[in-house]
Amino acid sequence: MPASEVVVVTGASAGVGRAVARAYARRGARIALFARGAGGLAAAADEVRELGGTALPRPVDVAEHDQLDRAAGEAEANLGPIDVWINAAFSTVFGTFDELSPEEYARATQVTYLGFVHGTMAALRRMRPRDRGVVVQVGSALAYRGVPLQTVYCGAKHAIQGFHESLRCELLHERSGVQMTMVQLPGLNTPQFSWARSKLPHHPQPVPPIYQPELAADAVLRAADRPRRREYWVGGSTVGTLLANSVAPGLLDRYLARTGFSSQQNSDVDDSARADNLFEPADAAEGRDFGAHGAFGGTAHSRSPQWWVARNQALLALGGAVLAGVGAVLARSRR
pLDDT band at 4, cuts 50/70/90? confident
pLDDT band at 1, cuts 50/70/90? very low
Q: Within 10 Å of residue 103's Cβ, how many Cβ atoms?
A: 10
> What is the mean pLDDT of the segment spanning 260-287?
83
CA distances from 230 to 164, 179, 223, 224 (A): 9, 9, 9, 11
Kindly list the domain boundaries of the chain, sorted by start residue: 6-303
- DSSP conformation letters of 252-301: HHHHHHHHTTGGGEETTS--TT----SSS-TT-TTS----S--S-TTT-B
pLDDT for residue 127 is more than 60: yes
CB-based contact 219:185 (threshold 8 Å): yes
| Of 146, 170, 165, nearest in space to 156 by CA | 146
Q: Give residue-wise pLDDT tens across range 9-67.
A: 999 999 999 999 999 999 999 999 999 999 999 999 999 999 999 999 999 999 999 99
Fold of 6-303: Rossmann fold (3.40.50)
Lowest mean pLDDT among 127-136, 266-275, 320-329: 320-329
Q: Given this model, what pLDDT does residue 171 score?
A: 97
pLDDT for residue 224 is more than 80: yes
> What is the mean pLDDT of the segment spanning 155-179?
97
Q: Give residue-wise pLDDT tens across range 73-102.
A: 999 999 999 999 999 999 999 999 999 999
pLDDT band at 273, cuts 50/70/90? confident
CB-based contact 309:137 (threshold 8 Å): no
Percent of the chain past pLDDT 90, that is, above it, reads 67
| Of 136, 140, 126, nearest in space to 221 by CA | 136
The whole-angstrom separation of Cα 96 and Cα 104 is 12
- DSSP conformation letters of 37-68: -HHHHHHHHHHHHHTT-EEEEEE--TT-HHHH
Q: Within 10 Å of residue 288's Cβ, how many Cβ atoms?
A: 13
Lowest mean pLDDT among 2-11, 119-128, 160-169: 2-11
Q: Given this model, what pLDDT does residue 310 score?
A: 63
CA distances from 61 to 65, 107, 111 (A): 8, 11, 8
| Average pLDDT across the chain, whole number | 89
